[in-house]
Amino acid sequence: GAVVSQHPSWVICKSGTSVKIECRSLDFQATTMFWYRQFPKQSLMLMATSNEGSKATYEQGVEKDKFLINHASLTLSTLTVTSAHPEDSSFYICSGGRDSNQPQHFGDGTRLSIL
Amino acid sequence: RKEVEQDPGPFNVPEGATVAFNCTYSNSASQSFFWYRQDCRKEPKLLMSVYSSGNEDGRFTAQLNRASQYISLLIRDSKLSDSATYLCVVNENQYGGATNKLIFGTGTLLAVQP
């Protein structure tokens, strides 16, 4: 089955630091990948759609200059949280699938804690 | 109105019980539907897709009613290991068909008691 690898699993850093999260499709090519954020006791909220070779599409209320997405290859999408602050602390998860109409498979997620 | 709505839960049931989850979605153009399971502090994992004719996978039965925009999941003979949050997920087509995106319900927490 489709496998998605996400790295790192945990990040703890000081306020003002920029943090990069990687999402890789291991056994398929993904022209589209998705980035989600989940706060405690809430459901996943789609942040943006990452498109290989073109600009990401951001959901309403998500700052594109704050959350930089790069999808330079068919197997790698990255999310950079720039100048992170404590309110950015959350669980960030990416997903991908062989086809955007097929079930998505999720990375293990990244727990980001900003002190 | 939320795009995908679920029973708020939590559901506390004894082992062996049958439990049903309900979900409604607002976009009649939604194309595909899924149930995901999420364990505490873990990523969601696909439980099953939901087909128009209804489908069954062991103790799990999913049904879809497009006219009512309603999806259900039935778990029979529940096990302790079924304890998790169950997420109703709808795949919406956007941008004129170029891209689909998943819309998640808030999830229903199931706690199966010994």
Output b/e per residue, B95-113; b: 16+ Cβ within 10 A. eeeebbbbbbbbbbbbebe
pLDDT at residue number B72: 96
**Nearest residue, CB atoms, B102 vs list A57, A104, A111:** A104
Q: What is the average pLDDT score of chain A? A: 90
Q: Mark yes or no for CB contact B32/A101 under 8 Å.
A: yes
Place of tokens 């398929």: A28
Q: In B, which residues are within 8 Å of A46 by CB distance?
A: 101-104
- A106 closest CA partner among B34, B80, B59: B34
What is the per-residue pLDDT across B43-86, written as a single tens digit (0 to 9) for each? 899 999 998 888 999 999 999 999 999 999 999 999 999 999 99
**Secondary structure of residue A91 in the 3-state scheme:** strand
Compute the average pLDDT of residues A80-96.
Answer: 95
Q: Distance, in angstroms, between B12 CA and closest chain A CA?
A: 17
What is the per-residue pLDDT across A39-81, written as a single tens digit (0 to 9) for each? 988 888 999 999 888 899 999 999 999 999 999 888 999 999 9
Examine the pLDDT at A4 and tell me if it is beyond 60. Answer: yes
